Amino acid sequence: SYELTQPPSVSVSPGQTARITCSGDALPKQYAYWYQQKPGQAPVLVIYRDNERPSGIPERFSGSRSGTIVTLSITGVQAEDEADYYCQSADNSATGVVFGGGTKLTVL
Amino acid sequence: EVQLVESGGGLVQPGGSLRLSCVASGFTLSAYWMSWVRQAPGKGLEWVASIKQDRSEKYYVDSVKGRFTISRDNAKNSLYLQMNSLTVEDTAVYYCARPIISSWYGADYWGQGTLVTVSS
């Protein structure tokens, strides 16, 4: 079955840039979405269609894609950004959806 | 204001059944695909199923095919998930999610979730 691979954890100091990658063979064909989830809360969409930002999401959140890897970047990380982040995309046939395993972002 | 409110979760024995409901408000349900996503305790997100606006297309994760059925009633602004032959691996918080208007899986609105516990 199709899989998206994320690093389990990323740590950065406040004010630095955090980059979280997500790799998958179908990513060149299918859009990627990114979610932020804090403990006890439902996920929040932070990036859609690879690099678009929903209204209300701070400009420090951005997305990019290069081949089979998509990247969520958070520029000028703040303490409030500490959370789990998940990428999501569809498989090559566009009949199944998968999430990456999630990345725990720690703000030192 | 867009709202999604799930209900129907609870404790059920292995092999049992449960029907989840999601009532939508603040938008026209018939204009959107809809999805169910679950999260086992302490684990990551897992997509479960999606249904097209007119019910003509339905997709499921392999682990629930043949056991779960997604359905909707646009007139009642409601989404459903019928879950049969439940196993302990189905224990999770189940979220109802609304994909963005031009997608069938990237969700910009989520419910608060309903907990399903499968245990003897």
What residues 16-35 of chain B have any CB closer than 8 A to a CB of chain A?
35
Q: What is the mean pLDDT of residues B46-66?
A: 97
Residue A36's φ and ψ, nearest 5 degrees, are -110, 135
Distance of alpha carbon A72 from alpha carbon A81, whole angstroms? 12
Q: How far is CA A76 from CA A43, A59, B53, B97, in A?
A: 22, 10, 40, 30
Distance of alpha carbon A91 from alpha carbon B65, whole angstroms? 17
Q: Which residues contact A71 (CB under 8 A, 6 or more apart)?
A: A19, A20, A21, A22, A63, A64, A65
Task: Tell which residue, B90, B106, B113, has the closest CA to residue B4.
Answer: B113
Residue B102 is predicted with a pLDDT of: 81
B73 close to A (CB below 8 A) = no
Q: What is the mean pLDDT of residues B33-38?
A: 97
List the single residue in A1, A43, A54 with the smallest CB-CB distance to B45.
A43
- The alpha-carbon gap from A87 to the nearest alpha carbon of chain B, in Å, equals 10
CB A82 within 8 A of CB A94: no
Q: What is the mean pLDDT of residues B55-63?
A: 96
Residue A47 is predicted with a pLDDT of: 98
pLDDT of B101 higher than 90: no
Q: pLDDT per position in chain A (108 positions), as tens?
A: 899 999 999 999 999 999 999 999 999 999 999 999 999 999 999 999 999 999 999 999 999 999 999 999 999 999 999 999 999 999 988 899 999 999 999 999
